[in-house]
Amino acid sequence: EKDGYKHFMLKEIFEQPRTIEDTFRGRIYPDEGRVYIEEVKLKLKEEYIKNISNIYIVACGTSYHSGLVSKFLFESFAKIPTEVDIASEFRYRDVILDEKTLVVVISQSGETADTLAALRLAKSKGCQTLAVCNVVGSSISREAMYVIYTHCGPEIGVASTKAFTGQVTALYVLALDWAYKREALTIKELKKYLKELWEIPLKINEFLKNAESVHDIAKVFANKRDFLYLGRHINYPVALEGALKIKEISYIHAEGYAAGEMKHGPIALIDKSMPIVAIVIKGRIYEKIISNIEEAKARGGTIIAVADQSDKEIGNKSNYVIYVPETDEFVSPLMTVIPLQLLAYYISLILGCDVDQPRNLAKSVTVE
């Protein structure tokens, strides 16, 4: 059942080109600039989509991180004000909600207790609710008014991998569809962004051929006690996700930070023993994050950059580089998260940890 892979997690990492494609297949047609989203149950009416005043995205853990990624998509593509919250916080705050608010809950299992409670709260306030789920017929998918499924197949490894990329894919498609319906994107832009998604599985496949290069880096850093993960803009949530992966399966302390926040405190942590994984792909904040890593390097930190293949400069500015195929920045989290998943996997493997069943963790958190 592991298809020859040593662990479910590794199998699930390598499945992602296919699970991403399974999630967008039949939903997007880049040449024609068309998006079809077969909603289960009621259909979201075009009139409603045009009138959404704001979105609250609510989830836990890795699903929360995919929510943070999609905030950029709903804002930049669809121009809808979007907030993202952790379910266990959302449910105990006095959130201001009304019928024009759409509450999106994201859950691989569809059974997470806090996320389910947040969904019920949103319904009780009269909000429309949409769930992004992987498990068909799960509690959350049954109780939400609308559902969009990720088609990832069962995720067995406790550390979530393909569910994250499936969620980002589904939300990317949704944000593009709404952007076009709300006349926030032209057909030309829509086609361009659909094509970017279409090409992702091939690019991930290409990268995965060099997975061993990440293994080599893992060997250098497996004995470290702390890691910093830096990103900005749409790759800031990916930094959080990379740090979460390494924490949960290697038991190494790691923190994800928005790189621009470094000088407001965390830079004090940096010394020669601190590896810093930085996502520095091309995009609107490229120059900014370059200067952030230069500051970190000047203080003795060891920089492991995740960068575009075409980046000729990055080799001089960092100590190690993991090159990934070039992508548009808005689709890049689907690419940049892959090396971070692999890095956590290989470090866990080297340390002899239980990769698929890390201590103290359960696959589905059905109690508060």
Among 16, 19, 23, 63, binds ligand F6R (CB under 6 A): 63
Q: Is 19 in the site for ligand F6R (CB under 6 A)?
A: no
The 3-class SS string of the chain reads CCCCCCCHHHHHHHCHHHHHHHHHCCCEECCCCEECCCCEECCCCHHHHHHCCEEEEEECHHHHHHHHHHHHHHHHCCCCCEEEEEHHHHCCCCCCCCCCEEEEEEECCCCCHHHHHHHHHHHHCCCEEEEEECCCCCHHHHHCCEEEECCCCCCCCCCCCHHHHHHHHHHHHHHHHHHHHCCCCCHHHHHHHHHHHHHHHHHHHHHHCCHHHHHHHHHHHCCCCEEEEEECHHHHHHHHHHHHHHHHHHCCEEEEEEHHHHHHCHHHHCCCCCEEEEECCCCCCHHHHHHHHHHHHHCCCEEEEEEECCCCCHHHHCCEEEEECCCCCCCCHHHHHHHHHHHHHHHHHHHCCCCCCCCCCCCCCCCC
Among 62, 128, 141, 292, binds ligand F6R (CB under 6 A): 62
Stretch that binds ligand F6R, among 72-80, 103-111, 192-200, 287-295 (CB under 6 A): 103-111
Q: Is 109 in the site for ligand F6R (CB under 6 A)?
A: yes
Q: Is 341 in the site for ligand F6R (CB under 6 A)?
A: no
Q: Is 213 in the site for ligand F6R (CB under 6 A)?
A: no
Q: Is 356 in the site for ligand F6R (CB under 6 A)?
A: no
Instruction: Tell me if residue 71 is catalytic.
Output: no
Q: Is 107 in the site for ligand F6R (CB under 6 A)?
A: yes
Site for ligand F6R in 116-175 (CB under 6 A): 159-160
Nearer to ligand F6R, 63 or 235 (CB): 63
Catalytic choice (123, 125, 282, 363): 363
Stretch that binds ligand F6R, among 17-25, 61-69, 190-198, 207-215 (CB under 6 A): 61-69
Shortest spacing between CB 123 and ligand F6R, in angstroms: 17
Q: Is 115 in the site for ligand F6R (CB under 6 A)?
A: yes
Q: Is 230 in the site for ligand F6R (CB under 6 A)?
A: no
Q: Is 336 in the site for ligand F6R (CB under 6 A)?
A: no
Q: What mask, x for binding ligand F6R by CB under 6 A, covers residues 247 to 266?
A: -x------------------
Q: Is 108 in the site for ligand F6R (CB under 6 A)?
A: yes
Q: Is 15 in the site for ligand F6R (CB under 6 A)?
A: no
Q: Which residues are catalytic?
A: 363
Binding site for ligand F6R (CB under 6 A): 60-63, 107-109, 112, 115, 159-160, 244, 248, 364-365
